[in-house]
Chain A
Amino acid sequence: MSTTVLERYDMRIDTEDDIILVRRKVRDIAQSCRFDVFAASAVTTAASELARNVWTHAGRGVARIEKVTDDMRMGVRADFEDQGPGIADVTRALAGGYSTANSMGLGLSGSRRLVDEFSIESTPGRGTRVTFVKWAPF
Chain B
Amino acid sequence: MKGTIPLLRLGSTIVATIHTELRDKVAQDFQDDMLTELELRGANALVIDISGLETVDTYVARVLAETGRMAKLMGARTVLVGMRPEIAATLVRMGYAMDGIQTALNLEEGLTLLRRRRREMP
Show the binding face of A for B, using Cβ within 8 Å.
16-17, 20, 23, 27, 37-38, 40-42, 44-45, 48-49, 52, 96, 103-104, 106-107, 109-111, 113-114
**Inter-chain contact B57/A114, CB cutoff 8 Å:** no
Tell yes or no: B108 within 8 A of A by CB. no
Among the listed B57, B87, B94, B96, which residue makes an inter-chain contact with A52, where contact means beta carbons less than 8 Å apart? Answer: B57
Per a CB cutoff under 8 Å, which of B21, B54, B58, B84 touches A49? B58
**B contact patch SS:** helix
Residues of A within 8 A of B86 (CB): 37-38, 40-42
What residues make up the interface of B, taking CB atoms closer than 8 Å to A? 21, 23-24, 54-59, 62, 84-87, 89-90, 93-96
In the complex, 24 of the A-B residue pairs with CB atoms within 8 angstroms, ordered by the A residue number, are A16-B23, A16-B24, A17-B23, A20-B23, A27-B54, A38-B85, A38-B86, A38-B90, A40-B86, A41-B86, A41-B90, A45-B57, A45-B90, A48-B57, A49-B59, A49-B94, A104-B58, A106-B95, A107-B58, A109-B94, A110-B96, A113-B93, A113-B95, A114-B93
